[in-house]
Structure 1
């Protein structure tokens, strides 16, 4: 289980600005190394590939990369807004983590910073004579990287912002989240559905928002030291108000409650890390928008339900009532995410918008019938119960 510090680091790494800054700093470092390599190069190389050979190329790169970067940013924002309007506004945050777009824009920006900085250093006569050949070789490498980035960008633009790309992106992240919960039921803690002891001390949330991440390893270690048993009352993805209990602790003092609260991340928006229902919610919202009168696109609803059915069929967390494996964090108890919870956020929101679309409801009935054959008995029972509630009464 990832610690909270590593989680924050991963969130920073996934942001666009981080990759842009990292490649820009790397380009500046390369220019700083150039004078150190100049003394070991033969003089004839400098005569052939001097300032007159490299400065025109740098000038072209500086002007061209600025225009390409600006144009690419406009394309990215337009594509992301289009995807958000077609699917759900919450997918915008997921699109911002697209690694291909980040790498391409970072390469363009790094090329601009590199060429402009090299021109400044040459004009200021801060480079020794032999450094021009080193910069020439580096510039050739930068040109190759830019060409590769342009080819990747052209290929990526053919799919960027489309419904297929958006749904595939949501499904991939949802699959990862479901698989993580399947591998570590109850986040590695003790699965329990019973109420905590009545004399347990409440751990109040310090702010209102969604529970985003629980540092299970740190909580368990702190509870073990203090001889405390912790019961989470709010799972990742659930909303809690400031001052309301996010967990309760048996045998804890006030100091432990303050430390435990700091290990539970609460924010304004939900995240995928420990919330397997978030991706299913985004898929359901996409189908809802497709079924709205202004869009009227039942085909997207069919595809969404197909993806939801595939996710639940292939990545369903284990039935924790039958799980006998020893918990990795025995001092932390929390309720499991059940098959009924997953179905509740998947199909009912779509059914709400599909009341006047019998063909969509027929597809939903087919999906629920398929899930009734799942090897997990909890999913079988939950799918059968939902199908009866929607279709047997008709």
Structure 2
């Protein structure tokens, strides 16, 4: 935590929403959307059944049995369609999501296992699965509503609205199937995967709180209390910022998060340092932190860069030998770092409504992010002039954007890259070619 003075005022960014951790956790699950869809379709079916009963009762009260006879014939035809839809939908679901398993396996083997979460978080995949299951459940419910009588005078209910609703769900399922196949094919292409990683990284950047211009972090002094981590061991996924700020304000203290988002925490180790008073009771701090088995994009500035580096390293391995993919990953690394060149790092301040600092959260510093983005790729890409040329061009672009206090790690990586190429290239011509900055690597 070395950057105690905020020197730049970045553009206004959205404040983290109170339920953002819950929203992010639901996005990382695959059960919520299908379950909600099946519950919703059951409620809609009850309403449609009540409407069908009301229609039949109105016709019976009017004595319009001729219209009832026509509707009864329509219902018998619709029953055959609904039965066919119900029998085919589960097979359709199995075929469709076999595509997902193949796509996930290919992406995990060729890119990095950490991109699997992109498929899990895909909205179109969840929507398709949810609508397919909802359609299947709806067909089962509608089949129970068909009346076996043949005389219109004995008809008590006819699934008219329900049948139309089923046909509408089938049409929606077909539309989502087309969109799902298109989305899955896009996620199997490395350029789109890299773009999605960059998009998620920019969401994490945009959620950082905007510091006041020229505002300095108050002197916290020695911690007056410590709050240990309680619960299972795992990766610190995110913290409920709004709730921690409220707790700190209510107890008149400042809370300082000890581990960074993405660190592995062990029960009993310090989680929060308390400044200015006693530690809040354990009940007040319940559900303020989330621990899981893997990192997430939410609140984690370095996770996107970590994934991009993993993709580049996998591409530069002898088994794959695809430096073009590494160059595409470097494009996004440079883009993310360019967005952070003048953003205050090392620490994030979260304030209450009165403007007082209540939560101090450590975040990766500029040097750490630059090292994360370039160190491993630089070492593994020495045999590829395409990688060295792209890296030099990226470092030169970042040197133009970065302030004087952030040029040192960029110059260090540029010097290390030149030294490595000088040592590995066999002659001066190859060295000059490999050290020529090129944004396309070798265009």
Q: Normalising by structure 2, what TM-score?
A: 0.78
Structure number with bigger Rg:
2
User: Secondary structure at 2:103's aligned position in 1?
Assistant: helix
Write out per-residue CA displacement over residues 79-114 of structure 1, whole angstroms, 9 at most, x where no aligned residue: 112111111111112320100111112111111111
Contact 1:72 1:105 in 2 (8 A): no
1:12 corresponds to which of 13, 26, 37: 26
Aligned mates of 1:326, 1:258 — CA distance in 2: 22
Following superposition, the deviation at residue 147 of structure 1 comes to: 2.5
- 1:324 and 1:229 map into 2 onto residues whose CA distance is 11
* Separation in 2, partners of 1:61, 1:111: 9
In structure 2, how many angstroms separate the alpha carbons of the residues matched to 1:324 and 1:63?
A: 57
Query: Structure 1 pair 123/316, CA: closer, same or farther in 2 (3 Å)?
Result: farther
Aligned pair partner of 1:241 in 223, 248, 266: 266
For residues 33 and 326 of structure 1, do their structure 2 counterparts lie closer, same or farther at Cα, with a shift above 3 Å needed? closer
1:90 — aligned with what?
114
Q: Which structure 2 residues correspond to residues 1-394 of structure 1 after superposition, within 5 A?
A: 1-2=15-16, 6-12=20-26, 15-38=29-52, 39-40=54-55, 42=59, 43=64, 45-50=67-72, 51-122=75-146, 129-181=156-208, 184=210, 197-206=221-230, 207-253=232-278, 255-256=280-281, 259-260=284-285, 263-314=288-339, 316=341, 318-319=343-344, 330-391=357-418, 394=422
Q: What SS is found at the alignment partner of 2:256?
A: strand
| Residues 15-45 of structure 1: per-residue CA shift (max 9 Å, x gap) | 3222112222222223222332133365555
The count of aligned residue pairs is 388
* Contact in 1 for aligned 2:236/2:289 (Cα 8 Å): yes
* Change in CA separation of 1:316 and 1:59 when aligned onto 2, cut-off 3 Å: farther
Task: Describe the shift of the 1:384–1:258 C-alpha distance in structure 2 as closer, same or farther (beyond 3 A).
Answer: farther
Closer/same/farther in 2, CA of residues 156 and 219 from structure 1, 3 Å limit: closer
Distance 1:263 1:40 in 2: 52
Whole-angstrom distance in 1 between the partners of 2:349 and 2:360: 15
Provide structure 2 residue ranges, at least 5 long, that are not aligned to the other structure: 1-14, 423-443
Alpha-carbon distance in 1 for matches of 2:68, 2:405: 74
When residues 199 and 174 of structure 1 are mapped into structure 2, their CA distance, relative to the original with a 3 A threshold, is: closer
> How big is the shift at 1:48?
2.8
**What's the offset of the Cα at 1:298?**
0.5
CA distance in 2, matches of 1:338, 1:221: 27
**In 1: Cα distance, 2:110 partner to 2:68 partner:** 56
Q: Mark the CA change 1:103 to 1:379 in structure 2 (over 3 Å): closer, same or farther.
A: farther
Q: Aligned-pair distance for 1:290?
A: 0.6
Instruction: Determine if contact 2:251/2:280 at 8 Å carries over to the other structure.
Output: no
Please state how far the C-alpha of 1:277 moved relative to its aligned partner.
0.7
The separation in 2 between residues aligned to 1:324 and 1:251, in whole angstroms, is 16
Name stretches of at least 5 consecutive residues in structure 1 with no aligned partner: none
Measure the CA separation in 1 of the matches of 2:148 and 2:16: 48
Contact preservation (8 Å) 2:334, 2:398: yes
8 Å contact 1:101–1:153 — kept in the other structure? yes
Q: Deviations over 1:271-304 (max 9, x none)?
A: 1111111011001001011111111111100000
Q: 1:209 to 1:139 in 2, by over 3 A?
A: closer
**Which protein has the bigger helix share?**
1
